[in-house]
Amino acid sequence: MSENERGSWVWGPYSRLCALVVIATFVLDQSHKAWMVGVYRIKERGRVEILPFLDYVFVLNKGISYGLLTSNGQWLLAGFAVLTAIALWAWVARSGGNALLAASLGLIIGGALGNALDRVIHGGVVDYVSLHAFGFYWYIFNIADVAIVAGVLGLLYESWMPSRSGRQ
């Protein structure tokens, strides 16, 4: 790959797409959380059944994935998320990449920044969607979490695709 095909660590060929996905993900996540907390008032409602396998319930997650490593260091966790977002941004800007890579990294960055802002504002990540079946409850999550998982799945798929440059 020539230097012209790659960007600087700040801006590259797919940075615009990545930035649009970051902004859309962040705005959707934060606006839905604001609506759930401020308008729908999920915190006061308790568990609300939406479908037989899906409920809304307010949880303030002070840990990381699945509530692991619960910590009072919310600023530290938020800072780590921001540093990770910067590293992922450099990846998309520096690589020649492709649209799938840029969109996948944009989903992860947007989700990470949305959850990082929650940590600063609320003292933990605001989660509210609960999936369950047959008495078994999975983790409670939000739109940012869905974006992060979708981004990781996109990266996995992209890593298994044959290279467009003819390498297998």
Long-range (24+ apart) CB contacts under 8 A made by 158-162 are: 158/98, 158/100, 158/101, 158/104, 161/100
Structure tokens at 84: 């990770």
**Three-state DSSP class for 63?**
coil
Active site amino acids? 127, 145
Determine contact, residues 120/82, Cβ cutoff 8 Å: no
Distance CA 27, CA 111 (A): 10
DSSP 3-state of 2: coil
Determine the Cα–Cα distance for residues 141 and 164; give it in Å rounded to an integer. Answer: 36
